Amino acid sequence: MLHYHSLDITGRSAHVIGRVSIDTSIIDLSSAADLKPSLGDLVEVCGPSQSLDELAKAIGSIPNEVLTTLGSRSVRSYVGDHVLSVAGSLHRPGDRRDY
């Protein structure tokens, strides 16, 4: 994802800095100084605030490629051809995770 792409964190927009590295993104929260994110907060990559088509266009891709590159650890919910949600969870570095 490119630096001009934004995500929705608990209802607030925040920009992605640089490119995604494997399954990691760096999110600039300086424009939302009052936002105090914590483990388990929802980070919306695509959904009501940004459609899958808009996300794909922002990163110079197509919707199908975006979905296939999100990784097997992300939970996806579909109805017909529409994505309802793609969810994952934040974790602390070093925490054991079973994939």
pLDDT of residue 90: 45
Better-scored residue on pLDDT, 73 or 69: 69
Residues 54 and 38: beta-carbon distance below 8 Å: no
Sign of CA dihedral 61, 65, 68, 69: negative
Tell me the per-residue pLDDT of 49-68, one tens digit each, with 9 for 90 and over: 788 888 888 878 888 888 77
Per domain, the residue ranges of the chain are: 6-30+38-87
Whether residue 74 is predicted with pLDDT greater than 60 in this model: the reply is: yes
76 Cβ contact list (under 8 Å, min separation 6): 67, 70, 83, 85, 86
Tell me the per-residue pLDDT of 5-64, one tens digit each, with 9 for 90 and over: 777 877 788 878 776 666 667 778 777 777 777 777 777 777 777 888 888 888 788 888
pLDDT of residue 91: 47
